[in-house]
Amino acid sequence: MRKSLPSSDATMPERSDSSRAQKGEWLWGAPLLSFRYSYRELSSQDGKTHIKAKECRFEDGKFTTEEFEGTTGPDAYIDAVSAMHRLVQQQAALLLQPLSWLLASSIRNKPK
């Protein structure tokens, strides 16, 4: 048994609503366009870690940017590189895991 919506809930808003159009919204309040861009750079020079970060966002009709630049001890660079190596190894293992059954069966079926 299907229930129908009351007629007041099923009506569409008028297209001439200029305040929503100026905010970049569709008829039901969803944003027409939004994006996020972020950039981070780590470098190590003279025993210090140099960090640069920038983030740009366009959400709810507003464009905002944030920038950061600073230095810290060498441990931050070493930790970041180690974390990146672990991440690449984990992704490579996930990528190659479906193929492992081919290698395992060829090794088991090898004549002695």
The amino acid at residue 22 is: Q
Inter-CA distances, 30 with 13, 61, 64, 101, 103, Å: 13, 11, 19, 46, 49
Q: Say how far residue 80 (Cα) sits from the centre of its chain.
A: 18
Q: Where are the domains of the chain?
A: 17-106
Q: What percent of the chain has pLDDT over 90?
A: 44
pLDDT tens across 27-74, in order?
455 567 888 999 999 999 998 999 999 999 998 888 999 999 999 998
Residue 11 confidence (pLDDT): 45
- Say what the pTM is: 0.51
Is-contact 73 48, C-beta < 8 A?
yes
Q: What is the reported pLDDT for 19?
A: 55
